[in-house]
Structure 1
Amino acid sequence: MNSSKPLDLSARNAARARQAILTKPPGSLGQLEELACRFAAWQGRAQPEDLRPAITVFAADHGVTVEGVSAFPSAVTTEMVRNFANGGAAICVLARALDARLEVVDVGVAGDVAALPIVHAKVRPGSQNLAKQAAMSADETAAALEAGRVAAR
């Protein structure tokens, strides 16, 4: 779906009309009915195409780990990203079961994951220690948010 593309209101109206003739009490699916109509408007079709689920994991380390507040040290992040890339993590099993696309995005892993088949959008290698200073600058925050927008597209 392209959020910059205008909604097709005729497709949305056709989807609403279709909802009204389906074998179910009107409104019985709650918000799912309106969601289906919104997808129809985005896709320009009275009956929206099936969507393929997608899972995106954003990986990064936070500098406050040095204060002893995390359950695991930063090295675990690097190993988890390797496990994601190799298909061995629980999220990989879930993605396969759902036939979902799994994307792993490095936005700030402190360790070296450059050779892995993942999306490389590293803003910085781990954030700063927020107990002592801002975790990220405004520019770094904007870059991390942009990485999220790109992944969502």
Structure 2
Amino acid sequence: MVQKSPLHTLQELAHTRVDEATRRLGELMAGEQAAEVKLKLLQDYRKEYSSRFMENARNGIDPNAWRNYSNFLAKLDEAIGAQQFMLERSRQATAQGQQSWVAENTRAKAFDTLNERQEKLAAARHEKFEQRQTDEHAMKNFRNQHEGEE
């Protein structure tokens, strides 16, 4: 079995960390998108409910219904505010996730570059070794031929 170099092990670990950061970033982005959808739904519902309230108010409604509409609109406004806060937190988390992914990806690329350099150096050493072996073999054959002529 071929022994892995410590650098290769670090390279594999870095790529595992990139994969994990990618997965986390995907989850964060999906969460942000879901928060945006929920906020839009709340805003659309508030707009629709407000229109219904205005229409009923024009046609005349009793004070109890007016109070119910107003209270419900206030609750919708609270929910919208809370959702806007959640969306902002989700956006911040996504931005941090992107920074984390960039850092992990940069680290992995650095290990890739170092590993590539190490492999090129090893290949060059092996090539020199093979050339030296070939030269020694040729020299040995040359000596044997000349010794045989004498």
Q: TM-score, normalised by structure 2?
A: 0.20
Q: Give the structure with the higher percent strand.
A: 1
Q: Give the structure with the higher percent helix.
A: 2
Point out the structure with max Rg over C-alpha. Answer: 2
Q: TM-score, normalised by structure 1?
A: 0.20
